[in-house]
Protein backbone atom coordinates (compact mmCIF):
# COMPACT_ATOMS: atom_id res chain seq x y z
CA UNK A 1 0.00 0.00 0.00
CA UNK A 2 1.34 3.41 -0.94
CA UNK A 3 1.91 6.13 1.64
CA UNK A 4 -0.90 8.13 0.01
CA UNK A 5 -3.32 5.20 0.33
CA UNK A 6 -2.34 4.68 3.96
CA UNK A 7 -2.88 8.35 4.74
CA UNK A 8 -6.26 8.35 2.97
CA UNK A 9 -7.41 5.32 4.92
CA UNK A 10 -6.28 6.62 8.30
CA UNK A 11 -7.89 10.01 7.69
CA UNK A 12 -11.41 8.60 7.90
CA UNK A 13 -13.01 9.73 11.15
CA UNK A 14 -15.02 7.26 13.21
CA UNK A 15 -17.84 7.80 15.68
CA UNK A 16 -18.93 4.87 17.84
CA UNK A 17 -22.52 4.43 19.04
CA UNK A 18 -23.08 2.29 22.13
CA UNK A 19 -26.60 1.78 23.50
CA UNK A 20 -26.89 0.74 27.14
CA UNK A 21 -29.55 -0.12 29.67
CA UNK A 22 -28.90 -1.33 33.22
CA UNK A 23 -25.64 -3.14 32.44
CA UNK A 24 -23.05 -0.90 34.04
CA UNK A 25 -20.32 -3.53 34.48
CA UNK A 26 -20.65 -4.72 30.88
CA UNK A 27 -20.64 -1.14 29.59
CA UNK A 28 -17.44 -0.36 31.50
CA UNK A 29 -15.84 -3.40 29.87
CA UNK A 30 -17.00 -2.39 26.39
CA UNK A 31 -15.62 1.15 26.80
CA UNK A 32 -12.30 -0.32 27.95
CA UNK A 33 -12.09 -2.40 24.78
CA UNK A 34 -12.92 0.62 22.65
CA UNK A 35 -10.14 2.56 24.34
CA UNK A 36 -7.69 -0.12 23.19
CA UNK A 37 -8.52 0.04 19.48
CA UNK A 38 -5.53 0.41 17.16
CA UNK A 39 -7.45 2.62 14.76
CA UNK A 40 -8.15 6.05 16.27
CA UNK A 41 -11.73 6.67 17.36
CA UNK A 42 -12.83 10.28 17.10
CA UNK A 43 -15.98 10.22 19.22
CA UNK A 44 -17.88 7.71 21.34
CA UNK A 45 -21.58 8.36 21.85
CA UNK A 46 -23.15 6.38 24.69
CA UNK A 47 -26.94 6.36 24.68
CA UNK A 48 -28.21 5.54 28.17
CA UNK A 49 -31.80 4.31 28.06
CA UNK A 50 -32.73 5.71 31.49
CA UNK A 51 -30.73 3.12 33.44
CA UNK A 52 -31.45 2.68 37.13
CA UNK A 53 -28.43 0.59 38.18
CA UNK A 54 -25.84 3.33 38.67
CA UNK A 55 -24.92 3.61 34.98
CA UNK A 56 -25.83 7.29 34.92
CA UNK A 57 -23.60 8.03 37.91
CA UNK A 58 -20.74 6.09 36.31
CA UNK A 59 -21.07 7.94 33.00
CA UNK A 60 -21.38 11.33 34.71
CA UNK A 61 -18.03 10.78 36.44
CA UNK A 62 -16.33 9.04 33.51
CA UNK A 63 -13.02 10.62 32.55
CA UNK A 64 -12.87 9.71 28.88
CA UNK A 65 -12.56 12.88 26.76
CA UNK A 66 -13.78 11.28 23.53
CA UNK A 67 -16.91 9.90 25.19
CA UNK A 68 -20.20 11.81 25.17
CA UNK A 69 -23.35 10.57 26.85
CA UNK A 70 -26.98 11.15 25.97
CA UNK A 71 -29.32 10.37 28.86
CA UNK A 72 -32.73 9.40 27.50
CA UNK A 73 -35.75 10.42 29.59
CA UNK A 74 -37.20 6.91 29.27
CA UNK A 75 -36.21 3.51 27.92
CA UNK A 76 -36.79 3.74 24.17
CA UNK A 77 -35.37 0.28 23.52
CA UNK A 78 -32.38 -0.65 21.46
CA UNK A 79 -34.06 0.62 18.29
CA UNK A 80 -34.76 4.06 19.75
CA UNK A 81 -31.28 4.24 21.21
CA UNK A 82 -29.55 3.35 17.96
CA UNK A 83 -31.69 5.77 15.99
CA UNK A 84 -30.82 8.60 18.38
CA UNK A 85 -27.14 7.67 18.54
CA UNK A 86 -26.68 7.32 14.79
CA UNK A 87 -28.33 10.67 14.17
CA UNK A 88 -26.04 12.36 16.71
CA UNK A 89 -22.99 10.64 15.23
CA UNK A 90 -24.00 11.64 11.71
CA UNK A 91 -24.54 15.26 12.69
CA UNK A 92 -21.14 15.31 14.40
CA UNK A 93 -19.63 15.04 10.92
CA UNK A 94 -17.77 11.72 11.21
CA UNK A 95 -17.09 9.69 8.07
CA UNK A 96 -17.97 6.30 9.57
CA UNK A 97 -20.34 5.18 12.33
CA UNK A 98 -19.52 2.02 14.29
CA UNK A 99 -22.54 0.57 16.09
CA UNK A 100 -22.68 -1.92 18.97
CA UNK A 101 -24.43 -3.11 22.11
CA UNK A 102 -23.05 -2.55 25.60
CA UNK A 103 -21.94 -6.17 26.06
CA UNK A 104 -19.26 -6.65 23.39
CA UNK A 105 -15.49 -7.05 23.33
CA UNK A 106 -14.04 -6.01 19.97
CA UNK A 107 -10.53 -7.25 19.24
CA UNK A 108 -7.93 -4.49 19.37
CA UNK A 109 -7.59 -4.50 15.58
CA UNK A 110 -11.32 -4.94 14.81
CA UNK A 111 -11.96 -1.35 13.74
CA UNK A 112 -8.67 -1.25 11.86
CA UNK A 113 -9.69 -4.35 9.91
CA UNK A 114 -13.13 -2.91 9.11
CA UNK A 115 -11.69 0.35 7.78
CA UNK A 116 -9.11 -1.55 5.74
CA UNK A 117 -11.86 -3.70 4.24
CA UNK A 118 -13.79 -0.60 3.14
CA UNK A 119 -10.63 0.79 1.57
CA UNK A 120 -9.86 -2.50 -0.21
CA UNK A 121 -13.44 -2.83 -1.46
CA UNK A 122 -13.30 0.67 -2.89
CA UNK A 123 -10.05 -0.22 -4.67
CA UNK A 124 -11.87 -3.20 -6.19
CA UNK A 125 -14.64 -0.95 -7.50
CA UNK A 126 -17.16 -1.93 -4.79
CA UNK A 127 -19.27 0.56 -2.85
CA UNK A 128 -20.91 -1.13 0.16
CA UNK A 129 -23.01 0.78 2.67
CA UNK A 130 -21.49 -1.17 5.54
CA UNK A 131 -19.00 -3.78 6.61
CA UNK A 132 -19.46 -5.79 9.76
CA UNK A 133 -17.59 -7.87 12.32
CA UNK A 134 -17.27 -11.62 12.60
CA UNK A 135 -19.10 -12.29 15.89
CA UNK A 136 -18.34 -15.04 18.43
CA UNK A 137 -19.43 -15.93 21.94
CA UNK A 138 -17.01 -16.50 24.80
CA UNK A 139 -16.66 -20.18 23.81
CA UNK A 140 -15.51 -19.20 20.31
CA UNK A 141 -18.75 -20.25 18.64
CA UNK A 142 -20.22 -18.04 15.87
CA UNK A 143 -23.25 -16.02 17.00
CA UNK A 144 -25.34 -13.19 15.53
CA UNK A 145 -24.75 -14.73 12.12
CA UNK A 146 -25.51 -12.31 9.27
CA UNK A 147 -27.95 -13.10 6.48
CA UNK A 148 -25.71 -13.79 3.51
CA UNK A 149 -26.34 -12.46 0.01
CA UNK A 150 -27.63 -15.36 -2.07
CA UNK A 151 -28.75 -13.24 -4.99
CA UNK A 152 -27.90 -14.48 -8.48
CA UNK A 153 -25.50 -12.78 -10.88
CA UNK A 154 -26.27 -12.32 -14.55
CA UNK A 155 -24.36 -15.54 -15.32
CA UNK A 156 -26.75 -17.53 -13.13
CA UNK A 157 -24.37 -18.06 -10.21
CA UNK A 158 -24.37 -16.65 -6.70
CA UNK A 159 -21.69 -14.05 -5.97
CA UNK A 160 -21.14 -15.21 -2.40
CA UNK A 161 -17.60 -16.55 -2.99
CA UNK A 162 -16.35 -13.67 -5.16
CA UNK A 163 -14.22 -12.11 -2.41
CA UNK A 164 -13.69 -15.16 -0.23
CA UNK A 165 -9.92 -15.03 -0.88
CA UNK A 166 -9.92 -11.59 0.75
CA UNK A 167 -11.81 -12.93 3.77
CA UNK A 168 -15.04 -11.13 2.83
CA UNK A 169 -18.56 -12.52 2.56
CA UNK A 170 -21.46 -10.46 1.16
CA UNK A 171 -24.41 -10.02 3.53
CA UNK A 172 -27.82 -8.48 2.96
CA UNK A 173 -28.53 -8.00 6.68
CA UNK A 174 -26.75 -8.20 10.02
CA UNK A 175 -27.17 -7.44 13.70
CA UNK A 176 -26.03 -4.24 15.40
CA UNK A 177 -23.08 -6.09 16.93
CA UNK A 178 -20.25 -4.24 15.26
CA UNK A 179 -21.33 -3.00 11.80
CA UNK A 180 -19.47 0.02 10.44
CA UNK A 181 -21.70 2.29 8.32
CA UNK A 182 -20.44 4.84 5.83
CA UNK A 183 -21.79 8.34 6.23
CA UNK A 184 -23.33 8.44 2.76
CA UNK A 185 -25.37 5.32 3.53
CA UNK A 186 -27.04 7.00 6.50
CA UNK A 187 -27.75 10.04 4.33
CA UNK A 188 -29.29 7.84 1.61
CA UNK A 189 -31.33 5.47 3.75
CA UNK A 190 -32.12 7.35 6.93
CA UNK A 191 -32.11 6.01 10.47
CA UNK A 192 -33.22 2.77 12.14
CA UNK A 193 -36.93 2.71 12.98
CA UNK A 194 -37.12 3.86 16.59
CA UNK A 195 -40.70 2.59 16.95
CA UNK A 196 -39.51 -1.00 16.58
CA UNK A 197 -38.20 -0.72 20.17
CA UNK A 198 -36.36 -4.09 20.28
CA UNK A 199 -35.48 -7.03 18.00
CA UNK A 200 -35.48 -6.81 14.25
CA UNK A 201 -34.61 -3.12 13.90
CA UNK A 202 -31.05 -4.01 12.86
CA UNK A 203 -32.18 -6.58 10.29
CA UNK A 204 -34.73 -4.19 8.78
CA UNK A 205 -32.18 -1.38 8.64
CA UNK A 206 -29.45 -3.36 6.91
CA UNK A 207 -31.96 -4.98 4.55
CA UNK A 208 -33.06 -1.47 3.66
CA UNK A 209 -29.48 -0.63 2.73
CA UNK A 210 -28.97 -3.66 0.48
CA UNK A 211 -32.42 -4.24 -1.03
CA UNK A 212 -31.73 -2.43 -4.28
CA UNK A 213 -27.95 -2.18 -4.33
CA UNK A 214 -24.75 -3.90 -3.32
CA UNK A 215 -24.52 -6.09 -0.23
CA UNK A 216 -22.57 -5.23 2.86
CA UNK A 217 -19.63 -7.44 3.78
CA UNK A 218 -18.65 -9.58 6.75
CA UNK A 219 -14.94 -9.05 7.44
CA UNK A 220 -13.60 -12.42 8.51
CA UNK A 221 -10.65 -11.21 10.57
CA UNK A 222 -12.48 -8.30 12.27
CA UNK A 223 -13.49 -10.23 15.37
CA UNK A 224 -15.79 -9.25 18.21
CA UNK A 225 -17.04 -11.21 21.19
CA UNK A 226 -20.69 -10.84 22.18
CA UNK A 227 -21.32 -11.63 25.83
CA UNK A 228 -25.09 -11.37 25.62
CA UNK A 229 -27.64 -14.09 25.17
CA UNK A 230 -27.35 -15.07 21.54
CA UNK A 231 -29.42 -18.26 21.42
CA UNK A 232 -32.33 -18.74 19.04
CA UNK A 233 -35.32 -16.65 20.05
CA UNK A 234 -38.28 -18.89 20.80
CA UNK A 235 -41.42 -17.75 22.57
CA UNK A 236 -42.39 -21.37 23.25
CA UNK A 237 -39.10 -22.01 25.08
CA UNK A 238 -38.91 -18.65 26.85
CA UNK A 239 -39.14 -19.03 30.65
CA UNK A 240 -38.69 -15.38 31.65
CA UNK A 241 -42.14 -13.79 31.45
CA UNK A 242 -40.85 -10.21 31.43
CA UNK A 243 -38.80 -11.15 28.38
CA UNK A 244 -41.64 -13.17 26.81
CA UNK A 245 -43.80 -10.04 26.59
CA UNK A 246 -41.18 -8.43 24.33
CA UNK A 247 -41.69 -11.11 21.69
CA UNK A 248 -44.57 -8.99 20.47
CA UNK A 249 -41.96 -6.69 18.95
CA UNK A 250 -40.11 -9.61 17.38
CA UNK A 251 -43.20 -10.87 15.55
CA UNK A 252 -44.41 -7.40 14.58
CA UNK A 253 -41.01 -6.18 13.37
CA UNK A 254 -40.12 -9.33 11.43
CA UNK A 255 -43.52 -9.36 9.75
CA UNK A 256 -43.05 -5.77 8.70
CA UNK A 257 -39.55 -6.43 7.36
CA UNK A 258 -40.74 -9.42 5.33
CA UNK A 259 -43.58 -7.34 3.90
CA UNK A 260 -41.01 -4.82 2.71
CA UNK A 261 -38.07 -6.96 1.63
CA UNK A 262 -39.06 -10.63 1.65
CA UNK A 263 -39.49 -12.95 -1.32
CA UNK A 264 -41.94 -15.84 -1.62
CA UNK A 265 -39.43 -18.34 -0.23
CA UNK A 266 -38.61 -16.26 2.85
CA UNK A 267 -42.25 -15.43 3.54
CA UNK A 268 -43.22 -19.09 3.20
CA UNK A 269 -40.51 -20.20 5.62
CA UNK A 270 -41.53 -17.49 8.08
CA UNK A 271 -45.20 -18.49 7.97
CA UNK A 272 -44.33 -22.16 8.45
CA UNK A 273 -42.14 -21.38 11.48
CA UNK A 274 -44.89 -19.33 13.09
CA UNK A 275 -47.54 -21.96 12.40
CA UNK A 276 -45.33 -24.50 14.17
CA UNK A 277 -44.85 -22.17 17.12
CA UNK A 278 -48.60 -21.47 17.23
CA UNK A 279 -49.49 -25.15 17.52
CA UNK A 280 -46.71 -25.81 20.05
CA UNK A 281 -48.16 -23.07 22.26
CA UNK A 282 -51.69 -24.34 21.67
CA UNK A 283 -50.81 -27.91 22.66
CA UNK A 284 -49.35 -26.64 25.94
CA UNK A 285 -52.27 -24.23 26.48
CA UNK A 286 -49.93 -21.23 26.62
CA UNK A 287 -52.81 -18.82 26.07
CA UNK A 288 -50.99 -15.62 27.03
CA UNK A 289 -48.10 -16.47 24.75
CA UNK A 290 -50.56 -17.27 21.94
CA UNK A 291 -51.95 -13.77 22.40
CA UNK A 292 -48.46 -12.27 22.02
CA UNK A 293 -47.82 -14.27 18.85
CA UNK A 294 -51.14 -13.46 17.19
CA UNK A 295 -51.15 -9.77 18.13
CA UNK A 296 -47.54 -9.37 16.97
CA UNK A 297 -48.25 -10.93 13.57
CA UNK A 298 -51.45 -8.91 13.16
CA UNK A 299 -49.82 -5.63 14.09
CA UNK A 300 -46.93 -6.44 11.73
CA UNK A 301 -49.41 -6.41 8.84
CA UNK A 302 -50.69 -2.99 9.94
CA UNK A 303 -47.35 -1.50 11.06
CA UNK A 304 -46.30 1.30 8.72
CA UNK A 305 -43.71 3.56 10.38
CA UNK A 306 -42.13 6.54 8.67
CA UNK A 307 -38.46 6.29 7.72
CA UNK A 308 -36.76 9.23 9.36
CA UNK A 309 -34.09 10.87 7.23
CA UNK A 310 -31.17 12.85 8.61
CA UNK A 311 -31.17 15.64 6.02
Task: Determine the Cα–Cα distance for residues 192 and 308; give it in Å rounded to an integer.
Answer: 8
Which of these ranges, 2-6, 113-117, 144-148, has the smallest mean pLDDT? 2-6
pLDDT (tens digit per residue) in 223-273: 999 997 656 789 999 988 889 999 999 999 999 999 999 888 889 999 999
- Residue count (the chain): 311
On whether both 163 and 90 belong to a single domain, the answer is: yes
Contact 55, 23 (CB under 8 A): yes
Tell me whether residue 152 is in a domain: yes
Q: For the chain, what is the domain count?
A: 2
Which of these ranges, 29-38, 54-63, 92-101, 151-160, has the smallest mean pLDDT? 151-160
* Cβ-proximal residues to 231 (8 Å cutoff; 6+ apart), any chain: none
Give the per-residue pLDDT at 45.
98
Domain ends where: 195, 226, 257?
226
pLDDT (tens digit per residue) in 58-99: 999 999 999 999 999 999 999 999 999 999 999 999 999 999
Average pLDDT, the chain: 94
Q: What is the mean pLDDT of residues 123-151?
A: 96
pLDDT range class, residue 9, cuts 50, 70, 90: low
On whether both 250 and 274 belong to a single domain, the answer is: yes
Q: What is the mean pLDDT of residues 50-60?
A: 97
pLDDT more than 70, % of the chain: 96
On whether both 106 and 169 belong to a single domain, the answer is: yes
Candidates 43, 44, 48; CA nearest to 20 is 48
pLDDT range class, residue 1, cuts 50, 70, 90: very low
Give the per-residue pLDDT at 265.
87
Q: Which domain holds residue 297?
A: 241-302
On whether both 41 and 134 belong to a single domain, the answer is: yes
Handedness of CA 216, 149, 233, 196 (dihedral sign): positive
pLDDT more than 90, % of the chain: 88
Q: What is the mean pLDDT of residues 55-60?
A: 97
Tell me whether residue 309 is in a domain: no
Q: What is the 3-state secondary structure (H, E, C) of the chain?
A: CCHHHHHHHHCCCEEEEEEECCCHHHHHHHHHHHHCCCCCCCEEEEEECCCCCCHHHHHHHCCCCCEEEEECCCCCHHHHHHHHHHHHHHHCCCCEEEEEECCEEECCCHHHHHHHHHHHHHHCCCCCCEEEEEEECCCCCECCCCEECCCECCCCCECCCCCHHHCEEEEEECCCCCCEEEHHHHHHHCCCCHHHCCCCHHHHHHHHHHCCCCCEEEEEEEEEEECCCCCCCCCCCCCCHHHHCCHHHHHHHHHHHHHHHCCHHHHHHHHHHHHHHHHHHHHCCCHHHHHHHHHHHHHHHHCCCCCCCCC
Which of these ranges, 130-139, 171-180, 256-265, has the smallest mean pLDDT? 256-265
Tell me whether residue 311 is in a domain: no
Tell me whether residue 196 is in a domain: yes
Tell me whether residue 254 is in a domain: yes
Give the per-residue pLDDT at 37.
98
Candidates 203, 142, 136; CA nearest to 171 is 203
Q: Is the pLDDT of residue 196 over 80?
A: yes
On whether both 51 and 153 belong to a single domain, the answer is: yes
Q: Is the pLDDT of residue 2 over 60?
A: no
On whether both 75 and 205 belong to a single domain, the answer is: yes
Tell me whether residue 24 is in a domain: yes
On whether both 12 and 119 belong to a single domain, the answer is: yes
Tell me the pairing of strands 14-20 and 43-48.
parallel
On whether both 208 and 76 belong to a single domain, the answer is: yes
Amino acid sequence: MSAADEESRSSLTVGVVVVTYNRRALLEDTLRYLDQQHYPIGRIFVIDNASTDGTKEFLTKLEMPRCETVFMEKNVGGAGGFAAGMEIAYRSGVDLVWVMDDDVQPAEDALEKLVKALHDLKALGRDPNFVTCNVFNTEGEPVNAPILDLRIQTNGNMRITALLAEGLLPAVACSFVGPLFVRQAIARHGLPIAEMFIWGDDIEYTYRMTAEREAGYVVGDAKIVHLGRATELSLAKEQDWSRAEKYFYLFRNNTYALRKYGNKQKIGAYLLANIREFFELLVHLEIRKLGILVSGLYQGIRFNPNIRMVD
